[in-house]
Amino acid sequence: MISSLIRSIEDRSVPVGVVGLGYVGLPVACMLARTGFQVIGVDIQREKVETICRGESPFHGEEPGLAALVREGIETGKLHATTDAASLRLAGIILICVDTPIEPDTHTPLYRGLRGALAALGSVLADGALVIVESTVAPGTMTGVVIPELERASGKRAGHDFFVGHCPERVTPGLLLHNLTTMNRTVGGQTPDVARAMVALYRTYVRGELDPTDLLTAEIVKTAENAYRDVQIAFANELALISEALGANVYEVRELLNKSPGRAMLMPGAGVGGHCIPKDPWLLIANVRDTVDAALIPAARAVNSHMPYHMVELIEAALREQGIPLDGARVAVLGFAFREDTDDDRDTPSEVVVNALRARGAEPVVHDPYIPAYQQAVEDAARNANAAVIMVAHRPYRSLNLERLKSLMATPVLVDGRHVIDPRTA
């Protein structure tokens, strides 16, 4: 059965379903359509589906090549978007690309979206279908949640009537197509033969290395990647706090530190956001909390989660130097996305800053050139502000007219959380 699936991949005769048309699913669907597959994209958001069906990208940030690829998929008829999960009965391969958040207080996985997708898919799952989960999940989820849910919903047996794989996504907003096609991928299969079929599929558009392995290893690798980066960022942020307290310039410290062989300290900043790094460390340890006393990963999360609140502390201190209380101050918050030059605001540190400012009696005014709700002129956000804080290194902020900004503000206070502004110029 796997051999015939591989042949249908090679001749592009197998229809492919993609569940979830967000930052992961839509680029995947477009690339598969470009390589010749008939692709059925399913999403519960009707407005998004309608936008895609018009041949338009639903994203407002800078995503090189994606808009053209969406248009191409629709115009050639290779890409079809719908809200009807029943259409997946035609698919021989289904990729699941849905959100997998965590519970805010306990940091435990929330699989409502994943379970919903599995239930909808199970009711129409074709015999011999290959189901690949690209969503990042806690180690143990494929065997503990995905397979049982699919078996229950379909009445079929995994490994006999259908097959399961896990190839966790490695995309970044702003670089979706670039990362999708060039980065190495860990390909976890239920069996080595399933992994072989998955490699055949991903080889149709991935130029990076494809490393076949088992389900559990793939789960651990992806969550560990982001946990490792979170720890690295936390070190940079903690060193920034130490340098600030001692009166040193952390950026100079970083530059000199990195001249030592084997050192590659990351850039400190106003906080860590996005749908991956804030949650994946918790996913990594989610199923071992009773057996492993994990200390480093929660500590790193605490450091990085504190940084947006530290930005508020910096704003308050800067205003105090001007004799202005934070309570009642108007603060221009420049940037609401979690990452530069995108419209992705999932788990953004800017939201923490805005809420904390409001709680302290300040009046935050948000500007973001890529998010429609905040696309006012930057001058309007800065007008009569007592302070401005740069939360995102968007390209337009790198070329701010500081003289113009100063002339509009009630008080010339600028807090740079992303090392965008040259202090000497300011």
- Evaluate whether 177 touches 24 at the Cβ level (below 8 Å): no
The enclosing H or E element of 163 equals strand 163-166
CA neighbours within 13 Å on the CB side: how many for 132? 27
The catalytically annotated residue of 167, 276, 279, 406 is 276
Task: Look up residue 21 and give its amino acid.
Answer: L
Rounded CA-CA distance 91/331 in Å is: 51
- Supply the DSSP string of 8-60, one letter for each residue: HHHTT-S-EEEE--STTHHHHHHHHHHTT--EEEE-S-HHHHHHHHTT--S--
Three-state secondary structure call for residue 191: coil
- 222 belongs to the catalytic site: yes
Task: Look up residue 81 and give its amino acid.
Answer: A
Alpha-carbon distance values, 382 to 9, 123, 332, 364, 399 (Å): 54, 54, 6, 10, 15
Retrieve residue 183's tokens. Answer: 């980065």
- 97 belongs to the catalytic site: no
The catalytically annotated residue of 48, 78, 222, 279 is 222
Name the β-bridge partners of 16: 39, 93
- Supply the DSSP string of 350-399, one letter for each residue: HHHHHHHHHHTT-EEEEE-TTSGGG-S-HHHHHTT-SEEEE-S--GGGGG
| Residues catalogued as catalytic | 222, 276
